[in-house]
A and B are shown apart, each in its own frame.
Chain A
């Protein structure tokens, strides 16, 4: 089976709607298909990666820890847009760190998140074969 470049585009905040959660479910299932997978977080999608999510009082499932498992699924190209962070008064420190172990580098722990500009994000989109938006 041929390998395609899959890009999952996340532009919506978590909890207000189910899209972030169900998008993550697609990414986890899709990881088994050994495609070239990247995730894009832009616009309100950057809120999905916010640190310190606690959902006990709203009575919903807190799915933010699941993002930290992505590295174990070999999903380690996670692009976050700088301009989207800026527009929301956020920095990388406001997001939970996501890491993976690089098998080509003696399993060294590396950051999965890469902060990119709008122009770089546009190029990542341009290079994708299949773009899934939720």
Chain B
């Protein structure tokens, strides 16, 4: 089994991203959407929780949500892939189940 975890909260506000990463097993994917996209940024107090987990877990971020919030892709942590809504659908299809960290 392989799971997709979606996170829609800023890691500076809630622990959803941190908890999702702690509960993601090797080979799982984490997709940051809505306010969750702030978790993809370099240089925040929480960037390390993502960069330390890259490798065991695949990280994705919603491009439309980055653009809406004025976040330049150049400021995203290395190794995180940017996807659109079709990419989101593909990720859901590719994994056995999706868990939303609300």
Contacts and interface: CB of A to CB of B under 8 A. Distances in A.
B1 A127 contact: yes
Interface string A103-134: 00000000000000010011101111111011
Contact of A42 (B19, B28, B98, B102): B19
B45 interface: no
B56 to A, nearest CB: 12
A81 B68 CA distance: 36
Contacts of A43: 15, 19
A122 B23 contact: yes
Most chain B beta-carbon contacts within 10 A, residue among A42, A43, A126: A126
A128 B97 contact: yes
Contacts, number: 43
Given A19-B102, A43-B15, 10 more contacts: A9-B99, A11-B102, A42-B23, A43-B19, A118-B23, A122-B23, A129-B96, A130-B97, A131-B98, A131-B99
A125 B3 contact: yes
Interface residues of A, number: 19
B58 to A, nearest CB: 15
B101 A11 contact: yes
Contacts of B16: 11
Given A11-B19, A43-B15, A118-B23, A126 B3 contact: yes
A110 to B, nearest CB: 26
B62 to A, nearest CB: 18
Given A126-B1, A126-B3, A121 B99 contact: no
B44 interface: no
Given A11-B19, A43-B15, A43-B19, A126 B101 contact: no
Interface string B73-102: 000000000000000000000001111111
29 contacts: A9-B99, A11-B16, A11-B102, A12-B102, A19-B102, A42-B23, A43-B15, A118-B23, A121-B23, A122-B22, A122-B24, A122-B25, A123-B25, A126-B1, A126-B2, A126-B25, A127-B1, A128-B1, A129-B96, A129-B97, A130-B97, A131-B3, A131-B98, A131-B99, A131-B100, A133-B99, A133-B101, A133-B102, A134-B102
